[in-house]
Amino acid sequence: MKLQEAVAIRLTELLVKKNMTRYSLCRKIAMNESTVYNIINGRCKSINMSTLFLIAHGLDITPCEFLDNAIFDKDKIEID
């Protein structure tokens, strides 16, 4: 699985867990909704750390908590 796919899956999972919409996340962190839409729908080829930090902040978790999931195991991720 590509890293971008893993991030999209994890973000979707956390939005459901936190009972948040993409829109509410974007409003909370002042991010363009199209950015989050592109991440979730696989249109984003790379995700920079500042975006990941903002998303984690908007979800009220740390970036480490975002990445602390088996989906990011090194044997499962393909990095371009």
Residues 55, 11 contacting (CB under 8 angstroms): yes
Angle of CA points 65, 31, 62, to nearest 5°: 15
Provide the Cα torsion 64, 39, 79, 1; round to 10°.
100
* Contact yes or no for 56/63 (Cβ under 8 A): yes
Domain boundaries, the chain: 3-71
Pick the CATH number of 3-71 from 3.40.50.300, 1.10.1740.110, 1.10.260.40, 3.40.190.150: 1.10.260.40
**Among candidates 13, 33, 34, which has minimal Cα distance to 23?**
33
Tens of each residue's pLDDT in the chain, 80 residues = 888 999 999 999 999 999 999 999 999 999 999 999 999 998 888 889 999 999 999 999 999 999 999 999 988 888 77
Structure token pair of residue 46: 């790379």
